[in-house]
Amino acid sequence: MSRVASIDIGTFTMRLAIADVADGRVRSMRKQSTIVDLGQDVDASGMLALDAMQRAFLCARAYAQMAKEAGCVALCCTLTSAARDAGNSDELMAALASLGISPQVIPGEIEGALTFLGVAQDFPSTPILVADNGGGSTELALGRLEGRALDLRWVRSVDVGCRRMTDRFFSDDGPAGEGALAAAHAFAHDGFAAALETMPRDLAPERLVVCGGTATSLVAMAARLEPYDPAFVHLHGLSLAEIEKLERELAALPVGERGKLVGLQEQRAPVILGGAVAVSELLSAAGFPSAQASESDLLFGLSIACDAAAEDTISPVIWKPVLSRLAEEG
């Protein structure tokens, strides 16, 4: 068994996983999550803001230290939608490299495949459609896991995420108007419908599984969880009717009041309405009346890939992360 660390630098949230992996499966994992909002203004400007890069740099420095103190043998670091979209991502990459980290901006298809690998651990031999709803994009993947063999039929990345939706349609702090809501729904619907039209029909998914901070927050809000309980949220059902009810409640409140709702992390309040619209349109476009939320996400897939690279074995996802060898550095 080896202990590895994975850093996921998303559009809204940065996360660290310290995982013990054996025989291609995550046996235990500790997670740390920090909202850094790397995608601040990226949709409008096409550039990462200097203060957003500074927040990400400081968070990465702290995460790398945690990984060393935990005794991890290797660390991998990936960046997703915001870094893919921004014209100055190389500045952040250079800053991260100065910490001894080897960052990689991964395509949406690799992000979707790694997320699917993580989620599918809980659904052996079951055809599933997985959606990773993030800040700048949503990765969709269809397939199944047979033992350690990944039968991944289809992956798409759709530019619909909570930060992007917020910047385009809900940028002020007040309650959301009907016009903005209608435009947001149309944008999300068009994006998901176009992608799902290309999904192969020879494998029918039995379940829709959604991961990401929006989905887990919606489950916590619907159940009025206080404090947050990942064991309760993991694989918990979330119906379209529940999402629509929460959306109406969120839309009627200014951002400052949304942050007071039970089950919602206050820092996520500015983007939760955009996320709720995105997830509701995802369920509608996919034809599912409900979905299951998953805590087994990209970090699980990254951990498995990181362990395979550290052990020089083949990962189920044919992609190899660049590792920082922490044990060799002391």
HEC secondary structure over 148-209 = CEEEEEEEEEECCCHHHHHHHHCCCCCCCCHHHHHHHHHHHHHHHHHHHCCCCCCCCCCEEE
CB 245 within 8 A of CB 261: no
CB 304 within 8 A of CB 4: no
Q: DSSP state, 261?
A: S
Q: Which residue has the tokens 């489950």?
A: 219
CA 98 to chain centre: 26
Mean pLDDT of 61-84: 96
Name the 3-class secondary structure at 304.
Answer: helix
Answer whether residue 40 shows pLDDT above 70.
yes
Smallest Cα–Cα separation from 91: which of 119, 139, 52? 52
What share of the chain has pLDDT > 90, as a percent? 94
Mean pLDDT of 222-244: 97
176-219 confidence digits (pLDDT tens): 999 999 999 999 999 999 999 999 999 999 999 999 999 999 99
Smallest Cα–Cα separation from 319: which of 67, 78, 13, 73? 78
- Please give the mean pLDDT across all residues of the chain: 95
Structural domains of the chain sorted by starting position, each given as residue range(s) with its CATH number in brackets:
2-107+299-329 (3.30.420.40), 122-294 (3.30.420.150)
Could you tell me the pLDDT band of residue 175, with boundaries at 50, 70 and 90? very high
